Amino acid sequence: MIRFENVYKTYKTGTDALSGVSFKIDDGEFVFVIGKSGSGKSTLIKLITREEKPTSGYVLMDRFPVSKMQSALVPVLRRQIGMIFQDFRLIGSKNVFENVAFAGEIVGMPSKKLAQMVEIVLGVVDLRHKASAMPLELSGGEQQRVAIARAMVNDPKLIVADEPTGNLDPQTSESIMALLEEINRNGTTVVICTHDSNLVDRMKKRVIEISDGCIIRDELASGYSGIITPVPNDIKGGNK
Amino acid sequence: MSARAFLTSLREGIQGILRHPLVTIASVTTILLMLLLMSTFFIFSANARFIMKKVGQQPPIEVYMKLNSSEAERTAVLEYLTGATDHVLSNQMMSPEQNYQRFRENLGTGSSILDDFDYNTYLPYTYHVQLTDPGYADEVVMRLQALPGVNKVMQESRVMHFLASATRWVNIGTAVAFVVLFLISLFIISNMVRISVYSRSTEIFIMKFVGATNGYIRLPYIIEGAVVGLISALCAWGITHLAYDRIFDMMMAKVSTSSFYALVPISGLSHWVLIVCLLCGVLIGAFGSGIAVRKYVKV
């Protein structure tokens, strides 16, 4: 569960990225965060992963009081989160298997269990046959699937994806989204920042729209710009 | 940290050295040059201290007893000198007769004028005192002057003060040189390692986002730096050893090793140079790398 309570974020430059944002995401939800560039989407993600700290307000991720936790606990928090980036962020010197296993090695997963987990997640993303390939030998879609496998290998409770289809063609984007939907169906919470209106419209999931640091829309089973089913008042806030 | 994680870091550290051979060579060369300078300073100051110590141990204090001093008074002086082992390296009592003989020897061919000299009436008992450190001179002189039967205590005070002061300044100069060279090499190494850290910034970024601790991320770089420092230290020690041995042979060819300006032989310095090189080399390498990766760890 993720909870934001009246969260403000002002950067050192004086830019107000978030202004009194409140919302709650329950376990197992699939949520799109949309908005124009500079609206505060990425800041919201950074606050969840504790890449940034809020200027004021409260951020809770499961049992972690993210906004107030000690720096030493940040690695423990991040082990609960699988991150997916627009530019994949794979290690060029490691093959597919090693890239995926890397995440498990860091958290000290036993070798045998790690090998099994890598096999399983590569199977989920349908890349088991390319386990020994290097990242540069893969297409964009395949690289993003490796990144998804890496995000899954530690069995996270939450997957956060920042523009995961930004560098992919529409067809590949569809397959990536289908994969994330499949992961969500197995109980993992998925939060995706995106500009891809077609995907948001087609998938009809909960949509949180941010503009100038405020939530201007929070709707269940919604599209990129339309209201379909409003969420109850007690889980939304910071609205304009 | 588990043993497996440590072994992984060790492997990564060694791989890091091989991954960027040019950066490794540049880092080893830089630390090596700094360590050679440090070794040179160390050897210079060790020799300076050694020479000053020997000069300070020459009999710079001479105690003159009163002409009518008693046996008990002389025994009291002797007891003080033999008891103050921290300050007094050695002492030698000279009887009036011995002083007379020395006086005659100093006069050489003209000594016959002293043939009828009544030394027991005109010459006192004296003590030649060697100190462990010239810095103790004032204290020893003060104590001796307070003893009964002592007429006067002569000391080469200006020489003693110069030696004490020079020893202090050599020590301070060496310490300052070490700190300055350490900081310079730390700065250079951290900037060099930053190149290899930068090339792995994506890897570090991913490590942070999958929950690696700062220590886990830093350790391979610290090991890499420490190994580079170790290699540099061994090279610096080898070069210093060979060079000083040659210089020693050249300079001491016609000088007795017991001479007060004889240099310290390499056997007496080599292990200290090795310790200094290893300590400084490993610390410079490890700290320099740790500093270089610091910025990237803050994600």
Quote ipTM for the complex. Answer: 0.76
pLDDT at B188 (0 to 100): 83
Tell me whether B207 touches chain A (CB under 8 Å): yes
> Do B182 and B293 sit in the same domain of this protein?
yes
Query: pLDDT digit string (tens) for B5-51?
Result: 778 778 878 887 887 788 888 889 989 999 999 899 889 888 888 87
Residue B221 predicted with pLDDT over 90: no
Across the A:B interface, residue pairs with CB atoms under 8 Å apart total 46
pLDDT of residue A55: 95
Phi (first) and psi of residue B272, to 5 degrees: -70, -40
Print the domain residue range for B74: 61-155
Are B67 and B51 members of one domain?
Answer: no
The pLDDT mean for chain B works out to 84
| B49/B182 same-domain check | yes
Q: Which residues of A touch B208 (CB under 8 A)?
A: 78
Q: Which of B122, B155, B188 is the last residue of a domain?
A: B155
What average pLDDT does the segment B181-188 reach?
A: 87
Rg (CA), chain A: 18
Of A51, A78, A91, which has the smallest distance from its Cβ to B211's Cβ? A78
Among B121, B155, B189, the domain boundary falls at B155
B189 lies in the same domain as B276: yes
Q: What is the DSSP letter of A224?
A: S
Q: Does A7 share its domain with A102?
A: no
Q: Do the chains contact at A75 and B4, CB–CB below 8 Å?
A: no
Is residue B54 over pLDDT 50?
yes
Which residues of chain A are within 8 Å of residue B212 when distances are taken between CB atoms? 75, 106-107
pLDDT for the residue numbered A151: 93
Asked whether residue B10 falls in the same domain as residue B84, the answer is no
Residues above pLDDT 90, as percent of chain B: 21
d(CA B290, CA B297): 10
- pLDDT above 70 for B157: no
Per-residue confidence (pLDDT) for residue A240, from 0 to 100: 44
B-chain CB neighbours of A105 within 8 Å are 8
Does residue A48 sit within a domain? yes
Per-residue model confidence as pLDDT tens for chain A (240 residues): 899 999 999 999 999 999 999 999 999 999 999 998 889 998 999 999 999 999 999 999 988 899 888 888 899 999 899 999 888 889 888 899 999 998 898 888 888 999 999 999 999 899 999 999 999 999 999 999 999 999 999 989 999 999 898 888 888 888 889 999 999 999 999 999 998 888 899 899 999 999 999 999 999 888 888 654 555 555 444 444
pLDDT at A99: 93
- Asked if residue A138 is part of any domain, the answer here is yes
Is there a single domain that holds both residue A20 and residue A115?
Answer: no
B210, B212, B181, B200: which is closest to B32 by C-alpha? B181
CATH number at residue A9: 3.40.50.300
Residue B210 in contact with partner chain A when CB distance is under 8 A: yes
Identify the pLDDT of residue B292.
85
pLDDT at A230: 52
Residue B88 is part of a domain; what is its CATH number?
3.30.70.3040
Do residue A198 and residue A226 come from a single domain?
Answer: yes
Q: Is the pLDDT of residue B297 over 80?
A: no
Lowest mean pLDDT across A181-195, B142-156, B245-259: B245-259
H or E segment and range at residue B77: helix B71-83
Is A85 contained in some domain?
no
Measured from the Cβ of residue B102, the count of other Cβ atoms closer than 10 Å reads: 13
For residue A145, being part of any structural domain is answered with yes
Partner residue opposite B213 with nearest CB, options A75, A102, A154: A75
Same domain, B168 and B272: yes
pLDDT score at B210: 84
B205 chain-A contacts, CB cut-off 8 A? 89
**Cβ of B206 and A91 within 8 Å?**
yes
Instruction: Single out the residue in A155, A189, A210 at which a domain terminates.
Output: A155
The per-residue DSSP string of B148-204 comes to TTEEEEEE-HHHHHHHHHHHHHHHHHHHHHHHHHHHHHHHHHHHHHHHHHHHTHHHH
Q: Are residues B85 and B15 in the same domain?
A: no
Degrees to nearest 5, angle at CA A237 with A235 and A238: 160
Whole-number Å distance between alpha carbons of B150 and B272: 44
Domain span holding position A221: 2-80+156-237
What pLDDT does B277 receive? 94
Shared-domain flag, residues B291 and B187: yes
Who among B202, B210, B299 is closest to A106 (CB)? B210
Give the count of beta carbons closer than 10 Å to the beta carbon of residue B259: 11
C-alpha span between A100 and B8 (Å, rounded): 16
Is the same domain home to B169 and B292? yes
Quote the tokens at residue B37: 């300078």
If asked whether residues A69 and A168 sit together in one domain, one would say yes
* Domain final position from A127, A155, A183: A155
What's residue A239's pLDDT? 46
Which chain A residues are Cβ-neighbours of B216 within 8 angstroms? 106
Torsion of CA A98, A102, A105, A110, to 10 degrees: -40
Structural domains counted in chain B: 2
Q: Do B210 and A78 touch (CB under 8 A)?
A: yes
A51 near B297, Cβ under 8 Å? no
Of A51, A75, A92, the CB nearest to B211: A75
Among B155, B184, B218, the domain boundary falls at: B155
Residues of B in contact with A150 (CB under 8 A): 206, 210
Cα separation of A31 and A48, whole Å? Answer: 14
Average pLDDT, integer, range B193-221: 83
Mean pLDDT within B88-115: 80
Q: What is the mean pLDDT of residues B158-184?
A: 81
**Same-domain status, A97 and A204:** no
